Amino acid sequence: MVCGKGEPMLNPDIERIIEILSNGNSVSMITNGMDKDKDRWLRICRMCSCVLVSCHKIDDMCEYNDRFLGMENVIIRNHDGKNPNMRITNRGGFFDFGKTETGICSYPFYHLDIEPDGTYRPCGQNWVSDYTTKPGFTPNLFNTSIQDYFLNEMEPIRKSLATNDRK
C-alpha cells in the first residue's frame, strides 16, 4: 500500500516507486486524486491492483468520476467532512478519544505500507508512532528489500502486538 504523510502523486518519482513495487507484487495506493493528468493516472492504474481516491468535497465527485472513467481498479471514497456519511481514521493522532488502543492488531502480520518517499510503515493508519527498530536508521524501498523489512524488521513489532504490548 502506497500511502502515508502526504499525497503520493506529489512525489516526482511515484511512477518509478510503483513500478519497482509492482514487480511481482500487488500494489495499492491511497491518494486525494487531484492530479488532473489522466495519462499519468492510466499508467499508474495499470501498475496498481487498486487505487483508493479520497474525495474531500462531495461537490467534486462528478469531476472525479470523469477523471477515473474506465479505470476499473479505482475506488472513489467520500471523505467530505460536511457529509454525515464521511468515514475517518485517527491516523494523524488529532483526536483524543480518552483511551489507548488495546487488543491484538493483525494488520502488520499481512500488510505493509510504503510512504510516498519510499519509507516503510507497518501501519498506514498511525502517522504518530515512529516504527524504527534501529535508532538513526529509517528503512525504505531504496536501502532495505521489502522481504527483509517485512520478515525481519517488522518481527519485533508483530511480537509486541501479538502479546498486546503496545509501545
Listed residues 61, 78, 95: the one ending a domain? 78
Please give the tally of structural domains in the chain.
2
For residue 23, give its domain range.
8-78
Residue 145 domain flag:
yes
Residues 71 and 133 in one domain: no
Per-residue pLDDT tens digits of the chain, which is 167 residues long: 666 667 889 889 999 989 988 888 888 888 888 899 999 999 999 999 989 888 877 777 778 888 888 888 888 877 666 765 555 444 444 444 444 455 566 677 777 888 878 888 777 665 555 556 666 778 888 899 988 988 888 888 788 777 766 65
Contact 122, 112 (CB under 8 A): yes
d(CA 117, CA 46): 21
- Cα-based torsion angle of the residue sequence 163, 111, 125, 26 in order, rounded to the nearest 10 degrees: 180
- Residue that is written with C-alpha cell 491518494 in the block: 31
Cell for 64?
472525479
